[in-house]
Amino acid sequence: MVATKRRFNPNLQRVRALIDGKATRAYVCTRCLKAGKVTKAI
């Protein structure tokens, strides 16, 4: 039994992402970026 419950927080990055066709800054987890769920604005 571990004394304290460990909590795994998502690795959030502030990126310019295309949301509804517009480039906006949003906090996105790195798993979503790697999986291609969020498209980065260039």
Task: Kindly report, residue by residue over 1-42, the tens digit of the pLDDT.
Answer: 778 888 999 999 999 999 888 999 999 999 999 999 998 988
Res 19: pLDDT:
87
Res 3: pLDDT:
86
Domain CATH number, residue 22? 2.30.170.40
Residue 3 lies in a domain: no
Closest CA to 41 of 5, 9, 14: 14
Domain containing 22 equals: 10-42
Q: For the whole model, what pTM was predicted?
A: 0.68
Residue 5 lies in a domain: no
